[in-house]
Structure 1
């Protein structure tokens, strides 16, 4: 019997399996083809604003995504580099093949057993899950099961009038498992995603586009860095135009998105090009980022023109764009519609509230993106292992991590469209920076034992360096020592808040990521203090637990609507109750009074 069984070898599945194995659980990952582990089904990139924060947090917990991203990076770019550190987003363009091989190497090194096969059904014993059955009839026993089927659950693919079963080009859909999920009442509905046509880079007129150079190797995704970086390539930018939009409008009659064939909602922040043209008709163009898919690969990913239009329309669209007039399409774009489960039926560990031992992670929970999937895989893997072998659970608080923000949003609010991580989703984004992920989560990783050898050494070293940097910033210095006519002696962390003295303060300290982080802390200190006060209030509300048998319908003065919202969300404490969508201050006051009366 396995301690943890993971269904699916995508970003959530690989991260979940490795996380479980790091905690000492005997883990098996079941996938159609082991060669597809870590496949980047859509854009060959990792990170970005919000997403890069998640990757750094997963890395701080000992995860594998950042390490693989560094090994495969062929283009690095710090998004929002000119803005404050809280909203800077590290992003890498990855060599698609190198990333997949890196993930497979990391999975193998973790001790996870990989089993090829199709899971046809979940198996149950008593009230909980006890394994899975494969399509060949083999029963695989496990104490816990993590479902990470991505876009494959009862999935259908669309392109123009074409329609076929599958969750990715060349891969089958998980139809039998999808049918069981529906029968068990676990499915909530259908969502949609899509991908653009892939182009032959040798047929692109690069001189007609705007080059976008890489940042080089000045920074890494993972704390461990990478001693053997790949050569860096430039990306390029072009735009759709009025002619492009005319082509799209003429082709809408064959679009499954507008014909009614696709019913699921697509991602708000990454819409198809036909959706953009339809919704933003006043615009005369949209940016298209031309992103190489590999060092020795001629394929180019035109980020910005995801589409399920017919093949001939895609061809005309591509050739209407400057620089792509002679571009050859190697693979046409398509859309995927798939089943997703209601994440509100999961607890903060991503375990199903009604089925002990059953966990869900990744796009099946209604999210979009590799990074969101990886972070959920981490949460589910750590906690499934804890459940199986009797360890302390891993809890991610929304005040301490974007992982916590996402889990809290999903399990309390649910989704009506694919969920994407944005820094604006956090009330504490000045604290939840990409550069301080290790400081925030490293102590938790050490306590839970989720770091292996060199990783733990690096994390401890960073924490020590950060403590020394903070102490150095506390030393008293006069303004005259910094070159200004001010004899007052103040801590360096106060002087550094002055833009005109930033460089002078930096010159007095060694150059290191830990020092940069400590300086950012000093700059944001007045705001961080207010956030710490808010967090203290939240902690007090978290300590006001709501018993599992609490009867919301019995709360005096609470409307039926509010009662229904509380019952649907099943908040564990007053803090969670306060963040349920649509709940009024009056309802919270009534709930607080009822809980206090019950405790008296």
Structure 2
């Protein structure tokens, strides 16, 4: 019934979809197995993509030739560029999505991808022999063979749903849990643990009074995520979100459910996400605060369903309902379904190589929440890299690894493998030491050529990058050459409270002044507008950023070179750390467990001191 595949992807969430698309577009014959064909690319929690640091990840996925950016652009109902008041390293795109349109677009794109087959079944075992995986076993008893297998099981591995004192088996509400895989992997020597996440109640938007809330509009400029020309809504077609707040009364009602809370009564053993706590956790941990912000987010264009962002809860549903009815604008709310917590198995990611292949079983790859991450974007980028490397392994080619200095994706994978995680991992800009280089505006310049050489990014993407590079260089040359006259420039400088020119000055020099942007200069200075009329907005913005932040960018590049010297020092595979008598006990244990490939990786392992790295360096030098 089934041919032998190059790559089998287990699970069709964000990680699984990107893994299947990447491997197939590189030429592998792929089978995507999901327990429910109707929930491919389901947005299990909030109907949104991007945000702080997460938006950069989606841009990187797109630059590599992944689908998340395109799907988001073509299903968004609102777009905002966050952190515009800060420097460009902090700008982060975020889109509110139409939940059903998003999933539908993903399925459509996968079905139109050559080399992707689908099958609906549960995978409850792996075919393993002599330390290598060679296929999967399904609930219907099929043994399907493949050269590589990617597990992207999300929250489904032995998933348990908690609502107050009620406990249900499931990987998502109304969907059964996946069993068998954890037990087999543990029997093969893997270490597993439990994590917890949660989701808020969904509300009937017709029952809300929006006049009591603050309206949150989208941006006038619909930049989006994909570097390809995508079909996006206009600014006028956007749907608004709304903001309201909890109150001491709401908190008092929520507290009445604490005695039945699975989290406070110890029925949930898994650790929850620190940066996205439940509402009961927030009022318990931040008792001094008398209110918390709630974002009222529409689930799509053609539905009245509302997502209450900030009100994740596993309290009894009657407590959730009564508390919500005390929130401004929610006095007459009707609940579609309650919030709940979900507890699931994951495998500490220190058990992986940088390719996301497991160290214990060859040809087996993990991506997404199975590695302890949280968020669609973190899952999708792991899926992309696991799909690439599953193809590479099936084709007997070298693994592809992105460095910390190349991408947020590289930071995320490096963090997971070197430091592990005992709570759901979420990406932040603060995790990236080279964030001035890793901006959302230049992901294509950083990654598309690398991906194109691999056979993933398309010729169209490569042509766009080439044109962008040439346009930016030409624009910078013009700005360095064109002189601005005081009489045509000083009125503009006065309007932005900048000192006037007393003589001609190059446009590039004027641009370096604080509070001055190229777009505004062009509006007020006719000669500049004429000189730059042929350049598009993307090129103008990129040239401005490169000129204004040149000093910071060069400093980071120098730091990257210094750090890369440690990355080039390879540690032999069978290095005997016991020989190093002066090495600390914790460092020895970590080195033996993680088996770092380079001194650079060794230096980033949690618990390893600089002196430990120096000892290792000296011994290797001998």
Bin the TM-score by the shorter chain: over 0.9
| TM-score with structure 1 setting the length | 0.96
1:275 and 2:300 aligned? no
Q: 2:244 aligns with which of 238, 242, 246?
A: 238
Q: 1:565 aligns with which of 572, 584, 590?
A: 590
CA shift digits 1:382-429 (9 cap, x unpaired): 111011113443221101100000000001100010000100001011
Q: 2:101 aligns with which of 98, 101, 108?
A: 98
Retained in 2: the 8 A contact 1:392–1:448? no
Q: Secondary structure at the match of 2:390?
A: helix
CA shift digits 1:66-116 (9 cap, x unpaired): 111111100111111222111111111100000000100111122211111
Q: Distance in 2 between matches of 1:285 and 1:215?
A: 27
Give the deviation of 1:15 after TM superposition.
Answer: 0.3
Counterpart in the other structure of 2:393:
387
Retained in 2: the 8 A contact 1:217–1:229? no
Trace 1:418-567 onto structure 2 (pairs within 5 A).
418-475=424-481, 477=483, 480=486, 482-483=489-490, 484-487=500-503, 492-499=507-514, 501-503=516-518, 506=522, 508=528, 509=532, 510-567=535-592
Q: Distance in 2 between matches of 1:409 and 1:86?
A: 20
1:206 and 2:210 aligned? yes
Q: Distance in 2 between matches of 1:170 and 1:225?
A: 37
1:416 and 2:422 aligned? yes
Trace 1:52-451 onto structure 2 (pairs within 5 A).
52-111=55-114, 112-216=116-220, 218-229=222-233, 231-451=237-457
Q: State which drifts further: 370-379 or 222-231.
A: 222-231
Q: Distance in 2 between matches of 1:406 and 1:469?
A: 34
Give the deviation of 1:501 after TM superposition.
Answer: 4.5
Give the deviation of 1:221 after TM superposition.
Answer: 1.2
Cα distance change on mapping 1:217 and 1:225 into 2, 3 Å: farther
| TM-score with structure 2 setting the length | 0.93
Cα distance change on mapping 1:392 and 1:565 into 2, 3 Å: closer
Q: List runs of 5+ in structure 1 lacking aligned partners.
A: none
Q: State which drifts further: 145-154 or 447-456.
A: 447-456
Give the deviation of 1:486 after TM superposition.
Answer: 4.7
CA shift digits 1:19-47 (9 cap, x unpaired): 00111111110001212111111000000
Retained in 2: the 8 A contact 1:494–1:522? no
Counterpart in the other structure of 1:24:
27
Retained in 1: the 8 A contact 2:70–2:226? yes
Give the deviation of 1:542 after TM superposition.
Answer: 1.0
Counterpart in the other structure of 2:39:
36
CA shift digits 1:207-226 (9 cap, x unpaired): 11100011145211111243
Q: Secondary structure at the match of 2:291?
A: coil
Give the deviation of 1:257 after TM superposition.
Answer: 0.6
Give the deviation of 1:477 after TM superposition.
Answer: 3.7
Q: State which drifts further: 133-142 or 581-590.
A: 581-590
CA RMSD of aligned residues (A): 1.7
Give the deviation of 1:175 after TM superposition.
Answer: 1.4
Give the deviation of 1:472 after TM superposition.
Answer: 3.5
Q: Distance in 2 between matches of 1:367 and 1:479?
A: 55
Q: State which drifts further: 51-60 or 518-527.
A: 518-527
Cα distance change on mapping 1:468 and 1:383 into 2, 3 Å: farther
Q: 2:603 aligns with which of 578, 581, 585?
A: 578
